[in-house]
Amino acid sequence: MKVRQARSLRRFLKYLFLAVVAFIGLIPFILIVLTSIKTTVDALAMPPKWFFTPTLQNYQKLITSIDFLKSIKNSLIIGVGATIAATGLGITTSYTLTRFHFKGDKAFSYFILALRIVPPITFVIPYFLIWRSLKLADTYFSMITMYVTLVLPLLIWMIRSFFAEIPYEIEEAAMVDGCTRWQTLRYVLIPTVIPGIMASATLSFIFVWNEFMFALLNTGRNTRTLPIEIYNSLGYYQLDWAKLSSSAVIAIIPVIIIIALTQKYIIRGLTMGAVKG
């Protein structure tokens, strides 16, 4: 009986500790949500008001703003387009690096990794000059292409590790049954590593959705993304914290939805290969 009580107490203390840590981590998000439903006066009050009359006027202003809605559309088009294109290229490149050996394959792999190590800010000005010289500035094509090159190294190295975990005998068995190499990739390997692919694609989309620096210098009126629209809403003499907080809440919602829909794939994908029997 004492052993059972001690075990129950340890379990209770463990979950209590986890709940406290989770609550501490959620404090910034809770404060943002509370500020978003305050009036401008209440949001600027010092000391902060903990008891106030909630209002949705900040959200009403945002959802009726054409520029704000357009920035959400731009972020979705660029984020989804870049993620799909980069994931497709990442799958084929990762498969090539794990199944085909050629002269300089390891050097090529480390070159891809080096692109991830280089500080991204070094590519900002070159991209700006390239798009301007090609007259592709402020277009969806230029933005999607730019973000594909930014997230592709991460996708290749993540998906490559998942393909490397699959025994080559499985692929040989599929070929013996009459599958071509492309059919083996499509019907055997990809379904096997789909959790890893979904986890990699989700992380890539979150990066593109939140990216600010490249979008600041390479977008214009036609392709302005949500982070840039939020940045442009900042005042010179005073910050409207209520409006800024409501914009942040709206920007977080799509990411939360995507993570909720792909949660099981993310957990399975990030733990693939962690345990070997």
Write down the pLDDT at residue 118: 83
- Region of 178 please: left (phi>0), alpha (psi -120 to 50) or beta: left
Write down the pLDDT at residue 171: 84
Tens-digit pLDDT string for the chain (277 aa)? 566 777 787 888 888 899 999 889 888 888 888 888 888 888 878 888 888 888 888 898 888 888 899 999 999 999 999 999 999 999 998 888 888 877 877 788 778 878 778 888 888 889 999 999 998 988 999 999 999 999 998 898 888 888 888 888 888 888 888 888 888 888 888 888 888 888 889 989 999 999 999 999 888 889 999 999 988 887 666 778 888 889 999 999 888 888 888 777 776 656 655 444 4
What is the DSSP secondary structure assignment for residue 247, as one 8-state letter? Answer: H
Write down the pLDDT at residue 237: 67
Write down the pLDDT at residue 275: 44
- The residue assigned the tokens 């294109």 is 85
d(Cα 177, Cα 150) in Å, to the nearest integer?
39
d(Cα 59, Cα 243) in Å, to the nearest integer?
8
Q: Which CATH class is domain 58-271?
A: mainly alpha
d(Cα 211, Cα 120) in Å, to the nearest integer?
11
Q: Which string of b and e fits 45-77 if b means at least 16 CB within 10 Å?
A: eeeeeeeeeeeeebbeebeeeeebebbbebbee
Write down the pLDDT at residue 130: 92
- Region of 83 please: left (phi>0), alpha (psi -120 to 50) or beta: alpha
pTM reported for the whole predicted model: 0.84
* Alpha helix (H) residue ranges in 44-139: 57-63, 66-99, 105-117, 124-133
| Domain segments of the chain as ranges | 2-36, 58-271
Work out the number of other CB atoms within 10 angstroms of the CB of residue 162. Answer: 23
